[in-house]
Amino acid sequence: MKTENQKRTRSKLTWLEFFTEVKEFYELNGCLPAKNLTDIHGKKLYNWCKNQKQLFKNNKLSPDRVQMLLNVSSEILEDSHTSSWDNTFKAFKVFFQENGCLPTILSEDSLEKKLAGWVQTQKLVKKDGKMDLEREKLLLEFLPIFFQENRGHGFSDGTWVENLDEFKKFFELNNRLPSKYSIDKEESILANWVGTQRLNYRNKKLLPEREKLLLEVYPAFFIVRETKRRYYVANVPTQKAQK
């Protein structure tokens, strides 16, 4: 088995140094350090990976480090005594706790896309009545609205894309934003969705890729204009003028 850092003499490495060497080992050999490695440094890398797995199992591994490890290989954190579903669920929880939202299929990050696909699969399995009750319980305990589509709020990635498509069609047809005061129910719902995107943007909770898609439809999407309201206030006749 090949290693590029067998000549390292330092007795202690930082977490980042260990991570870098494990990453290089994986890229060089196509696998993680194994228990049966004969060289001392290779065994150290194996024990480090084993330690990361235990920290992850005990929820003592920071979200940033989990993300870095998973980007190398999901095998690093996989427990041979735990199912693939459980491992993905743990990765999903870490993602949600770090980002405050569901993963999106629009992301350029491969891990986030994988998690987004997993989320959609759970919803489909639930919809078909084939969801394991224990798994459903775990999902709902972590996120009570996991299976809700929440139309108009952009929480579900699938629904968000659908709403974006509806907004795009509306804007192209009417050349204006939808109004929440409209008597048309669909337009009013769409207007609330637009308001939610602006609020998320203002609170820095809108994913960059979603921001980009909205601006492609309407470059001034996040510019809130109140000129109409000010116009009416400015033109209200004063009591003196009425006399």
Beta carbons of 47 and 70 less than 8 angstroms apart: no
* Domain identity same for 173 and 213: yes
* Domain identity same for 170 and 194: yes
CA 22 to chain CA mean position, Å: 26
- Judged against a pLDDT cut of 50, whether residue 6 lies above it is answered with no
SS3 of 92-141: the string is HHHHHHHHCCCCCCCCCCHHHHHHHHHHHHHHHHHHCCCCCHHHHHHHHH
Structural Rg of the chain based on CA atoms: 25
Helix, coil or strand: residue 152: coil
> Is residue 237 one of the residues assigned to a domain?
no
* Domain identity same for 88 and 119: yes
Count of CB atoms within 10 A of residue 87's CB?
A: 18
> Is residue 2 one of the residues assigned to a domain?
no
pTM, 2 dp: 0.40
The total number of structural domains in the chain stands at: 3
- Judged against a pLDDT cut of 90, whether residue 80 lies above it is answered with no
* Angle of CA points 38, 41, 44, to nearest 5°: 95
Question: Which residue range(s) make up the domain with 124?
Answer: 83-148
> Is residue 236 one of the residues assigned to a domain?
no
> Is residue 212 one of the residues assigned to a domain?
yes
Q: Percentage helix, strand, coil, to 5, in the chain? A: 60, 0, 40
* Domain identity same for 140 and 162: no
* Domain identity same for 13 and 75: yes
> Is residue 229 one of the residues assigned to a domain?
no
Q: Residue 36 — very low, low, confident or very high, per pLDDT cuts 50/70/90?
A: confident
* Domain identity same for 122 and 178: no
Pairwise CA distance, residues 26 & 179, whole Å: 54
Pairwise CA distance, residues 113 & 130, whole Å: 23
Specify the range with the lowest mean pLDDT, choosing from 119-123, 157-161, 202-206.
157-161
Provide the residue count of the chain: 243
- Judged against a pLDDT cut of 80, whether residue 10 lies above it is answered with no
Q: Residue 243 — very low, low, confident or very high, per pLDDT cuts 50/70/90?
A: very low
* Domain identity same for 138 and 118: yes
pLDDT at 113: 86
pLDDT at 177: 92
> Is residue 15 one of the residues assigned to a domain?
yes
> Is residue 110 one of the residues assigned to a domain?
yes
Beta carbons of 66 and 58 less than 8 angstroms apart: no
